[in-house]
C-alpha cells in the first residue's frame, strides 16, 4: 500500500454527499482535501467538522484543487456525467452515486472516458453491501438454491416522493421517477444475486397518478398541490433473462398501500427459495431461506449482520485505486443497469416489449 494518503474531493452536501464524506473521513489512508456544494452554511460546518482545507460552491472549482486524485459525486443526477467526464479528462478517479446517468448515451460517454483515461469509474450500489444480501449471495454461490429461474424485486413507498417540486421530480434533472431512482437499486440487487445474466427483453408500464395531484410527498402535511411533477410515481417491468429466467420489478414513490418504505427480493430456485423483506430500512430479521428438510417444507431465518452499505463501497473504491489495477473498473456494469432502465422507459412509452439482447 502507498504510504501517501489518497487525496479525495467530495461533491454534494445532501444525503449522498454527506454519507460519502463520512465514509472517506474515517479511513486513515484517505485525506478529504476538498468539498463542494451550494448550501453555504452546510459547506462551512462540514468543512470545519472534517478540517477540509478547500471549500467550494461549484464542482468546477473543486476539480481544479491542486493534487486532487479522486472525486466522489453526490449531486443531482444530471450532473453525474458532466462532473465525471471532466474529472476523468483531468486524470482523476471517480466514485459516482447511482444511477450512473440519466440515459445510456450519457452513461456510455462516462464509461468510454474511464477507458480512455485508464482511471476508475465506480458507481455506488450500497444495498448490495447489506449483511442479508451478502449472506444470500453466499447461499446462492454455494448452490443452496439450485438454478434460480424466477425472481421478483420491489421497492414500494406509501408516501415517499422525495423533494416534491425539486430536482427529483423534474425529468430533465433526474432522468425519471422511482424507476431510475429506486428501481436501479433493486435491479442491481437482482442481477448481482442472479450472477449477472444479460437481459433479453423488457416490458414495462409507468404511471403518474398521485404526484401530479400533489399527493404522496415524503414531507408530512407539505403543501405540494401545484408542485411540478414530471415523472412517473409507479413503474412495473417484466424482464426476460438469458438462459430462460424471468425477473419482475415493481417500484413506487407513492401509492395507496400499507404505510412504509419497503424493499426486497424473492428468488425461486430448483433447490430452494429465498426472500429478503426490508421494512423502513431495517437490517434485522429480513432474510428467509425456503428449503425441504427430510421432505418437509422448512424455513431458515439466518441471523445476518447489518453490513457496511456505503462505507463498504467507499472502502472498496479506495482499495481499487490503491491497487493500481484500474482497467476492470470502468463503470460498464452500472451501464448495463442504465440500459435496462432506459429500455423500461422506452417500453412503457411505446406500450410494447423492447428487445435488448435478442
Which spans of this chain sit near ligand NAD (rule: CB under 6 A)?
11-17, 36-39, 58-59, 74-77, 79, 97-98, 124, 126, 181
DSSP of 100-130, one letter per residue? S-SSHHHHHHHHHHHHHHT--EEEE-GGGGB
Distance separating alpha carbons of residues 239 and 235, to the nearest angstrom: 13
Q: For the chain, what is the total number of helices (H) and then of strands (E)? A: 11, 15
Helix 332-350 with 104-117: angle, nearest 10 deg: 170
Q: Nearer Cβ to ligand NAD, position 17 or 307?
A: 17
Report in angstroms how near the CB of residue 290 gets to ligand NAD at its nearest.
Answer: 28
Report in angstroms how near the CB of residue 74 gets to ligand NAD at its nearest.
Answer: 5
Q: Is 233 helix (H, G, I), strand (E, B) or coil?
A: coil
Report in angstroms how near the CB of residue 127 gets to ligand NAD at its nearest.
Answer: 7
Q: Nearer Cβ to ligand NAD, position 43 or 241?
A: 43
Residue 102 contacts by C-beta under 8 Å, 6 or more apart in sequence?
77, 78, 80, 81, 174, 175, 176, 180
Cβ-proximal residue to ligand NAD, closest one = 14
Q: Nearer Cβ to ligand NAD, position 38 or 284?
A: 38
Q: Nearer Cβ to ligand NAD, position 57 or 141?
A: 57
Distance separating alpha carbons of residues 174 and 230, to the nearest angstrom: 10
Report in angstroms how near the CB of residue 39 gets to ligand NAD at its nearest.
Answer: 5
Report in angstroms how near the CB of residue 207 gets to ligand NAD at its nearest.
Answer: 21
Sign of CA dihedral 113, 116, 120, 122: positive
- Residue 102, judged by CB atoms within 10 A of its CB (0-12, 13-18, 19+), counts as buried
Residue 14 dihedral angles phi and psi, to the nearest 5°: -85, -160
CA distances from 12 to 16, 73, 323 (A): 7, 7, 27
Q: Nearer Cβ to ligand NAD, position 127 or 329?
A: 127
Terminal CA-to-CA distance of the chain, rounded, Å? 45
**Which grid cell is 265?**
427480493
Report in angstroms how near the CB of residue 22 gets to ligand NAD at its nearest.
Answer: 13
Q: Nearer Cβ to ligand NAD, position 145 or 187?
A: 187
How many alpha carbons lie under 13 Å from residue 91 in its C-beta half-sphere? 6
Q: Nearer Cβ to ligand NAD, position 76 or 272?
A: 76
Report in angstroms how near the CB of residue 32 gets to ligand NAD at its nearest.
Answer: 15
Q: Nearer Cβ to ligand NAD, position 69 or 181?
A: 181
Helix 332-350 with 184-193: angle, nearest 10 deg: 120
Report in angstroms how near the CB of residue 78 gets to ligand NAD at its nearest.
Answer: 9
Q: Nearer Cβ to ligand NAD, position 190 or 289?
A: 190
Report in angstroms how near the CB of residue 304 gets to ligand NAD at its nearest.
Answer: 19
Amino acid at each position: 500500500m502507498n504510504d501517501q494518503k489518497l487525496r479525495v474531493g467530495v461533491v454534494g452536501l445532501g444525503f449522498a454527499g454527506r454519507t460519502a464524506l463520512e465514509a472517506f473521513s474515517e479511513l486513515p489512508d484517505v485525506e478529504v482535501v476538498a468539498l463542494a456544494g451550494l448550501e453555504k452554511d452546510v459547506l462551512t460546518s462540514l468543512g470545519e467538522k472534517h478540517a477540509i482545507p478547500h471549500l467550494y460552491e461549484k464542482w468546477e472549482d473543486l476539480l481544479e484543487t491542486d493534487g486532487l486524485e479522486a472525486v466522489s459525486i453526490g449531486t443531482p443526477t444530471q450532473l453525474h456525467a458532466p462532473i465525471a467526464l471532466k474529472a476523468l479528462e483531468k486524470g482523476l478517479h471517480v466514485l459516482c452515486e447511482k444511477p450512473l446517468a440519466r440515459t445510456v448515451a450519457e452513461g456510455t460517454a462516462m464509461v468510454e472516458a474511464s477507458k480512455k483515461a485508464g482511471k476508475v469509474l465506480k458507481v455506488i450500489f450500497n444495498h448490495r453491501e447489506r449483511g442479508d444480501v451478502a449472506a444470500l449471495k453466499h447461499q446462492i454461490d454455494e448452490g443452496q438454491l439450485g438454478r434460480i429461474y424466477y425472481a421478483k424485486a420491489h421497492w414500494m413507498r406509501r408516501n415517499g416522493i422525495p423533494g416534491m417540486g425539486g430536482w427529483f421530480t423534474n425529468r430533465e434533472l433526474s432522468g425519471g421517477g422511482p424507476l431510475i431512482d429506486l428501481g436501479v437499486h433493486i435491479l442491481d440487487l437482482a442481477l448481482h444475486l442472479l450472477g449477472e445474466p444479460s437481459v433479453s427483453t423488457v416490458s414495462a408500464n409507468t404511471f403518474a397518478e398521485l404526484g401530479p395531484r400533489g399527493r404522496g410527498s415524503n414531507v408530512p402535511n407539505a403543501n405540494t398541490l401545484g408542485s411540478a411533477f414530471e415523472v412517473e410515481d409507479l413503474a412495473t417491468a417484466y424482464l426476460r433473462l438469458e438462459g430462460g429466467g424471468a425477473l419482475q420489478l415493481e417500484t413506487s414513490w407513492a401509492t395507496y398501500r400499507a404505510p412504509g418504505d419497503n424493499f426486497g427480493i424473492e428468488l425461486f430456485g430448483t433447490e430452494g427459495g429465498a426472500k429478503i423483506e426490508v421494512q423502513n430500512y431495517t437490517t434485522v430479521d429480513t432474510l428467509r431461506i425456503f428449503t425441504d428438510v427430510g421432505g418437509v417444507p422448512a424455513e431458515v431465518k439466518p441471523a445476518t449482520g447489518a453490513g457496511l452499505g456505503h462505507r463498504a463501497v467507499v472502502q472498496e473504491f479506495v482499495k481499487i485505486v490503491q491497487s493500481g489495477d484500474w482497467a476492470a473498473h470502468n463503470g460498464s456494469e452500472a451501464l448495463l443497469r442504465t440500459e435496462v432502465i432506459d429500455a423500461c422507459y422506452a417500453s412503457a412509452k411505446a406500450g410494447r416489449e423492447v428487445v435488448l439482447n435478442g
